[in-house]
Amino acid sequence: MKLKIIVAIMIIASFFSFVGCGETPIQNGDCVVKFETFGGDAYEDVTVKKGELLEEPMIPTNGSKYFQGWYKDDKFSQKWNFEKDVVKGNMTIYACFVARYNVDYYYAGERQMRKKVTEGGFATAPDYITASLKVKNWYKNEELIEKYDFATPVTSDISLYADVEVITSWIFPRDVKLGSGWRIEADTTTRKGTVSEIEDGMLVEFDNPSAWDTYLRSPDLSIPEMEQYSKIVITYKNLSSESNLKFGFFRTTDKAWDGKIENFRILKTNMKETDSYETAVIDISKTSMLKNNWEGVLYILRFEVKKTDGDVNEQPEGTRFILGSVALIKD
C-alpha cells in the first residue's frame, strides 16, 4: 500500500514539473517574469513560455543614475543575456543602476571638457587641451598645488586643473595624428584629398582642384602670448609640376572658414618644386591678428599658378606636397 502511495506522489510531482516552471506550477508552461527597478521606471509583468527567450524591455531610467543592465539576482552577480538565456520558471530580473559623476577639466579658468564617470570608476588624464597645449600634470586646485591621483575612485563630482606646456613645433610624421589631427577639409563633398603618414613626413594630396574650398586644416590650437613669435618656418617638398606654387596660412576667429576678410590673414610663401626638403619662412611679426592668447587653426591652401596670359589656375591638378615640419619661431 505504501509503495502505491509513493508511486502516485511521484507521478503527480512529475506531471507538475512538466507543465509548470519555477517554484509555482502554472498550466500550459507559462512563466511570469517580474522586473525590479528599485524605484526606477515601473514595468508590467510579462508571461513567457517556458524555455523561450525573454524580450528585452526598453532601457529604464532612475533619476540621474546610469543603467548598467539587467541581472539575474539582486546582488548583480550575473547579467541576464537576452540573446541566450531562456526562461525556466517564474522569476524576477533586476535593473542595476549606478551613480555617475561629472569630472570637469579646466585650463586658464575655463572648462575645457566634461566627462562622466560611474561611481567607483576612475577619471582619465587627457594629454592635451589642444594640439598646442600639452598637459604636464592635473591638479585638484586652481592654484596648482596638489596633484590629482588618478588611482582614486570617483565618488563625487570633481574639478581638475591643468598645468601645461606650450607646443609650437610639429614634426611629421610623428605628429600626423596629434590632438584632433591634421586633415583635409572641403566646403563641398565633391572636392577631397588625403593626408598620409610616410617615412619622412606627411604627404598631402588634393584630388579635385578648386579655388578656395579644399584645404589642409591643422588641429585646434591655443598659443598664449602669440605676439612673441615672429616667424612661421616650414620644411617641405613640393611634388607638383608647377614651380611657383604658393603656400598660405590663415586663421579665423571661429575656427571655421566664413569668407570674411576681417576674420583671417593670409600669409604666403613660394614653394619651389624640389626632390629634397626646402625651408620656407613666413614673417608674422607685423601681422596684427596673430597676438595675445591666440586660438584658432591654421589652414594651408591657395596653391596658385600664374599663366602667361595672366590668369590664375588655383590648386592645379596634381597638387601634391610633403610637410616635414611647421614651427613658430621667436626673434
Strand-pairing partners, residue 266, are none
Write down the pTM of the prediction.
0.64
Q: Under a CB-based contact definition with an 8 Å cutoff, are residues 296 and 255 in contact?
A: yes
Is 305 in a helix, a strand, or coil?
A: strand
The closest alpha carbon to 221, from 128, 300, 325, 286, belongs to 128
pLDDT one-digit tens code per residue, 203-251 = 888 775 554 567 788 888 888 888 888 888 888 888 776 555 555 555 5
Amino acid 135: pLDDT: 95
Residue 92 cell numbers, joined: 524576477
Is 57 in a helix, a strand, or coil?
A: coil
**Percent of the chain's residues with pLDDT above 90:** 36
pLDDT one-digit tens code per residue, 107-156 = 989 999 999 999 999 999 999 888 889 999 999 999 999 999 999 999 99
Strand-pairing partners, residue 157, are none
Amino acid 236: pLDDT: 85
What's the one-letter identity of residue 144?
L
Ranking 65-69, 313-317, 323-327 by mean pLDDT, the lowest is 313-317
pLDDT confidence of 262, banded at 50, 70, 90? Answer: very low
Ranking 185-189, 260-264, 268-272 by mean pLDDT, the lowest is 260-264
What is the C-alpha separation between 303 and 79, in angstroms, rounded? 59
Amino acid 233: pLDDT: 86
Amino acid 300: pLDDT: 75
The closest alpha carbon to 75, from 116, 36, 23, 21, belongs to 36
* Largest distance between two CA atoms of the chain: 120
Sorted by sequence, the CB contacts under 8 Å of residue 2 that are 6+ apart come out as none
The closest alpha carbon to 124, from 85, 151, 97, 161, belongs to 151
Give the β-pairing of 158-166 and 100-107: parallel
Residue for grid cell 596660412: 249
**For residue 145, what are the CA distances in angstroms to 138, 166, 306?**
10, 20, 58
Burial 184-196 (b: 16+ CB within 10 A, else e): bbbeeeebebebe
